[in-house]
Structure formats: structure tokens, C-alpha cells
Chains A and B, each alone.
Chain A
Amino acid sequence: MVKIKYLSIGVLIIIIGIVITVVLLPSEEKKVKKQFNLLSGYATKSPEESGFTLLQKMKNIGSLFDEQCELKAPSQSLSGNYKREEISSYAGSARSYFSQLDLRFYDFNIVFSEKGVARVTLTSRLTGKSVAGEQVDETRELECVLKKIEGKWLFSQIEVVEVLKK
């Protein structure tokens, strides 16, 4: 009876240990998600953002992308390969259209199709207010490809999926 009791406690401790390890250890999936969280943080804009913060965020956005990134968003007139610097400046000009901006990502589906390549399907939601005072609420499904370069997951392709086709 005592043996069973100690055995049960032992099994319980092992299960808790495994759960804690799985939750706390940074898996590749978590690292990929972290890049999206960083992008979300850098894209977000508050009305009282200073010029210095703006420049810092633009630079940081660029650092999340590969040297060359393919963008496929025909509805936004964006298609082709863009350099990291071009993406930074495009992000900067897009942010300047808004006085307030919030970008969030949901429903991650991450597949590691080959070593060092992550294919991510997710929903992005952009809410905010334009400088003209117009409310903005845009939701898109995105298919992204991230490549692991020098230990960092970098965006190398972003495609906007057409959910509704007029």
C-alpha cells in the first residue's frame, strides 16, 4: 500500500516535470510565434509616439525580415521581392497613415516543411484610426514563410490569402 502511494507520487512528479519542461522550454514553434509578437509590437502605434520611437520601430521591423522578402498582396498593390530596407520604409509610410494602430495575430498553424523553414498560416487583424480620424478594422488570412538564418527566424515570404473574391 505504501509502495503504491510512493509510486503514485513519483509518477505525478514526473508528469508535472514533463509539463513544466514542455511549457517553459523555448521550442522552435515558440520562437516562430515570438517573431510575430515582435512584429505586432513594432507595428503598434499610440497617438503620443515620438519621432525617435518611430525610427527605432521602423528599424526593428526591418530586422525581422530576410535580406529579400517576397510580398504577395495584390489587393494592396504589393507584389514582388523587396529588400529589408524597402520593407522598413514601406512600414514607416504605412504607419504614418495612422494616428493609432494595433496589429494582432490569431489562429497560428505552424508547419516545419523542411529543416530551417517554417510555413505559417494565421489570421491578422489590424485596427486603428487614420490621421483623418477614420476608423480602420481590417482582417486578413496570411501565409508566411520564415527561414532560420543564423539562429533567427526571419520572414522571407508573406502572402495575403483571398478569403472573399468579388
Chain B
Amino acid sequence: MPIPNQIRKFFFPSFTPKFLIRIFLVALLAYLFFGYICIPFTIRGTSMEPTYHNGGFNFCWRLGTLFSEPKRFDVVMVRFAGSRVMLLKRVVAQESERVEFRDGKLFVNEREIEEPYVHYPCDWNLPPRQVEKGFVYVVGDNRSMPIENHHFGQTSKSRIMGVPLW
């Protein structure tokens, strides 16, 4: 059975200058979009369990924090030297606030904070400390490990790259 001309043209287009320009523009836009605006990433580690699972796939939406400050309970991506490796953490306190853990419970400015996203038992104790100006305090949702083995703390707002898309 002969393939209809339109289908053949769609799958096997002739390499006209117009077609090459179109291909170039699509590739350029995809590079800019997925390289700088909506960066794909794979989750490695269990620090955000059960909200985000080890091996999960997501996108870092950079416009999520470009025009607005990260708020408490926002999940954010924290960069190191660049965007190849980032940390996925939750903001629990903002600048000038005092953070503390008492028997696994989070206290901000001496007030206990309800954290419905924390599902595993936690026995952390951390003396109170003030978040510096221009910084936010981030912690993972999985606090079942000893406090020394969990990467958390205050980080500069300039290090926040964006938010996960879902």
C-alpha cells in the first residue's frame, strides 16, 4: 500500500533551507528552555522522603523563585557551584527568624511549627540559632536519620535555583 504523500513528507521531509532553519530554531529553543528555564533532574538520595523518592524524575522550574522570595514550606533547589548537582530541600524559616529543634519538633521564633510532610519519627535536638539576613533555613522532609547525617541549614537566597515542577 503506498504511503500518503503528506505522511511521507512529515516523517521524511526534504532538507530545504526553510526546514533546516526550523530544525535549528527548535533545537536552540529546546536548549535554552531545558538548559536554563526548566532543568530536568533525577533525585538521588532519600533526604526528601516520602515527598520525593529516590530515583524520581522532575524539572527545576527557575521562574518559580525568579520573581518571588521563597516562602516557608516551599520546596526549593539549592545549587552548589552550578546547576549540575543541586540539593532538594524545604524552606522552614526565613531571614531573622530563630530556628530550633526540640525532640524532633521544629520551633521557629519559639513557636512550634506543624509539619504535615514529616512522616518518619525524629528525635533531633538543635539549639536555637538566628537565620542571617539574605538567607533561608532549609531542611529535608526525611529526618529519620541522626542529625549529623542530614544536610540542612541556612543557605543564601542567591543559591536557590528554583522549585521542582511537581
Residues of A within 8 A of B (CB): 106-109, 121-123, 125, 137, 139-142, 161, 163-166
Q: Are A122 and B138 within 8 A (Cβ)?
A: no
* Given A106-B85, A137-B45, A164-B151, also A123-B78 (CB < 8 A): no
Q: Would you call B104 an interface residue if the criterion is a C-beta within 8 Å of the partner chain's C-beta atoms?
A: no
Query: A140: which B residues are within 8 A, CB to CB?
Result: 80
**B64 interface contact, C-beta 8 A:** no
Contact mask for chain B residues 153-165; partner A; CB cutoff 8 A; 1 contact, 0 none: 1110001000000
Contacting residues, chain B, for A106 (C-beta < 8 A): 81-82, 84-85
Q: Which residues of B sit under 8 angstroms from A164, Cβ to Cβ?
A: 78, 87, 138, 151-155
The answer on a CB contact under 8 Å between A123 and B152 is: no
Contact B152 A163 (CB under 8 A): no
B contact residues vs A (CB 8 Å cutoff): 44-45, 78, 80-85, 87, 126, 129, 138, 151-155, 159
Can you give 18 contacting A-B residue pairs, CB < 8 Å? A106-B81, A106-B84, A106-B85, A107-B83, A108-B81, A109-B81, A123-B80, A123-B82, A141-B80, A163-B78, A163-B80, A163-B155, A164-B78, A164-B87, A164-B154, A166-B126, A166-B129, A166-B153
- Please name all residues of chain B whose beta carbon is closer than 8 Å to the beta carbon of A139 when the two chains form the complex: 80, 85, 87
Once the chains bind, are A109 and B155 in contact (CB under 8 Å)?
A: no
Which chain B residues border A123 with CB–CB below 8 Å? Answer: 80-82, 84-85
Residues of B within 8 A of A163 (CB): 78, 80, 87, 155, 159
